Structure 1
Amino acid sequence: MRRDLTTPIHQFNGILQGKDGTTLTGMMLLANLSIHEAIMLTLNTEAELIALHTGIVKESLHIEYKASDSIDKRSEPRKLEMARDISAFANADGGQIIYGMKENKDHEPDGLDAGLDPREYPEIWFEQVLQQHVTPLLTSVKPRHIPLSNGRIAVAIDIPPSNGDPHQVDGRYYRRHNFNRLIMEHYEVRDMFRRATNPDLTIEFFFDKMKKQQALQHTPNAEDHGPVGMTPVISNRSNAPAMYAVSIIFIDAGLTVLTTEYEKLGVTRFNGHQVVPYRLRFYPNKSMPIFKEQPTLMPALGIIVPLNMINRPNDYLIGFEVRAPGCHTEGSNYVIVEFGRQLAIVTEPNKGRS
């Protein structure tokens, strides 16, 4: 879906704005939007493509850049490559592929290339390639031409997430992960088939204002800093709503936690770490069912890191387990990492520390 947003790109929650003032609507996380909702970039003009470059809009789970020469109607391997890339987005969270944009080694857009001949590559050609190579059919994928000033075109392909069975190409299932396309594991394929009939719940963690980083504030001679708010967000990747759910948030025992909404359980071990579990139950009479179109913000937790640990290389595990009828998922790849006097939520220990 598309929305018009209003904040500069450097805040990562609104309009994408280039250095020359060019703007375009973007795919960002907002506190008042569905957290996992893929908001497609509005890309209809060359100026909007240039803004991706000047605004340094990096590749991500939801966007990928491809040079024009990655498409060749005379090359069957390149047709298959395109089909694999598009099916991978559909099997993940959806997104967009832009053909005609170069990228650098840091996965940043590196400017438009010469583009494609619109007569040689009409929009229907992309649809025909997908019909030939992707099973089941991708009926909602929308390729479109974007005219360039040199008389040629770039191509943007909008790919919504699959609402049904996963899509395969050449007998394999692919999935978009960060900047890469990966062959899906057996359990991932099984889970996608299961989503048609059972909930598939997951939890993601954010600091205040839906950010992944948070500065620490403290006063001189204090034993610790002020509490940092951390909000778990529970979402459903299936079309089947979850009427009941029990969630447990695991917080590293080295952190102090302030909360009145969760039931604190006894210290245990989770994926090799000593943690304190905090339990929260969801009931229809207390909250809405958890359904795909509306992730739910869970009560915030106040996190305190001992001040004497601020400048030491410490990683604090945070994880989750969530159960509902037909669903049991857990995750432990969210870690609070300290570097200097800032916290960050990342997927691997030490990742991103300066």
Structure 2
Amino acid sequence: MLDLRAKGDLQRLVDEGLEESLTLDYKASPALTRDGKGPDELCKDVTALANSAGGQLVYGVEEDKVTKKPSRVDDGVIDPKVTREWIDQVLNSRVQPRMNGVQTARIDMGTGQFGYVISVPQTQTGPHQAPDGKYYKRFDLQSVPMHDYEIRDIMRRSTTPDLYTELWFDGRLKTHTPRVDQGTQNSETVMLHCVVLNKSPTPAHHVVVDFFVDYDLPIPFQVGPFKSIGERDEAPRPKMRIFRRVINSPPDLPIFKDGEVEQHSGVVPVQIPIEVLEGGNIYLETSIQAPGFTTTEEWLIVARTGQLKLVSPKERRTPRTHPYGWSDD
């Protein structure tokens, strides 16, 4: 989510020409009104974000209808009875089922009037129905009705686990500089930690986690619960070693939402060849399977002049000035 707290933040959106997207929707302040279809349109646009990938609805920014870029910050909502409390009341009373985690920020426009930024997480309890009885999604920068299969997919999301992995080096660090002893071809052993987490209120009782590690990395020894089960050699994808662990409840603890326990963590020790450590990419993948759920996440370790930087799947999809987030600092 964008950090939008003041009029200057909205002005930066205009100055940078940040276009509308699946997760960003601009509205001029007059669109936020208590009259006519105003409340229903508010519910329609907020539920469309929740039923899609989540995002932000910004009232107070006019949009160029041709370029889809913001054109100017306006003076704010005229009606003084349109407040954060009113917005919350409308959403809570007109949207079914009720949405969780929606946050509304009031923006002082310096005119005695206010704009509003509504931040909407992706739903885990929906789909959410607008007052007209329809279910909406974000598509092609609009709020459009959903198809039956899309509604069913969101319903499945609310009744199945939503699992993901987090990786780090020792100390929960995302960067690491391993020691290299003179006369050796590889670095000291580097511990790659992997934990399985859950974003859904539905706990996961039976989970299979595969950890794919770049084949070029020597594995000096194995540490349970991950066990080597073979290799994957499917060009053009990089050749990988496969390590697997299985979580079964009982005797293991289920994986609950927002709960991290040591029992769901594991370690794979690796060594880094010196030529890779000086400058190269190391490929990692995690694959999770559970009843009604499966996902694969692609991770990366970027090596640069002896330092390792762990790059998450999200960061890989949104590179910055340098690939994978390296800075010139």
After TM superposition, the score normalised by the length of structure 2 is: 0.63
In the alignment, which residue of structure 2 is the partner of 1:329?
294
Change (3 A) 1:85 1:317: farther
In the alignment, which residue of structure 1 is the partner of 2:311?
345
The unaligned stretches of length 5 or more in structure 2 are 13-22, 63-72
Change (3 A) 1:163 1:346: closer
Change (3 A) 1:53 1:215: farther
In the alignment, which residue of structure 2 is the partner of 1:309?
276
In the alignment, which residue of structure 2 is the partner of 1:260?
223
In the alignment, which residue of structure 2 is the partner of 1:276?
241
Question: 1:269 is matched by which residue type in structure 2?
Answer: D
Match of 1:293 among 255, 258, 281: 258
The unaligned stretches of length 5 or more in structure 1 are 1-26, 28-40, 55-62, 103-111
In the alignment, which residue of structure 2 is the partner of 1:197?
159
Q: Which digits, 9 at most, give the CA deviation of each residue in 1:313-353, with x for residues without a partner?
A: x43332222233x2341314323333444323143499543
**CA–CA distance in structure 2, aligned partners of residues 113 and 52 of structure 1:** 10
**CA–CA distance in structure 1, aligned partners of residues 55 and 236 of structure 2:** 35
User: Which is helix-richer, 1 or 2?
Assistant: 2
Change (3 A) 1:155 1:269: same
Question: 2:223 is matched by which residue type in structure 1?
Answer: T
How many residues align? The count is: 296
Change (3 A) 1:304 1:291: same
In the alignment, which residue of structure 1 is the partner of 2:178?
217
**CA–CA distance in structure 2, aligned partners of residues 224 and 51 of structure 1:** 48
Question: 2:243 is matched by which residue type in structure 1?
Answer: Y
2:230 aligned counterpart, secondary structure: coil
Match of 2:196 among 225, 231, 234: 234
After TM superposition, the score normalised by the length of structure 1 is: 0.60
Match of 2:128 among 154, 157, 167: 167
Query: Are 1:152 and 2:113 matched, yes or no?
Result: yes
* C-alpha RMSD of matched pairs (Å): 5.2
Change (3 A) 1:204 1:215: closer
Which has the higher Rg, Structure 1 or Structure 2?
2
Identity of aligned residues (%): 23
Query: Are 1:248 and 2:210 matched, yes or no?
Result: yes
**CA–CA distance in structure 1, aligned partners of residues 219 and 145 of structure 2:** 39
Q: How does 1:97-176 map to 2 (within 5 A)?
A: 99=59, 114-117=75-78, 119=80, 121-123=82-84, 126=87, 138=99, 141-143=102-104, 145=106, 147=108, 150-157=111-118, 159=120, 161-167=122-128, 173-174=136-137
**CA–CA distance in structure 1, aligned partners of residues 119 and 232 of structure 2:** 45
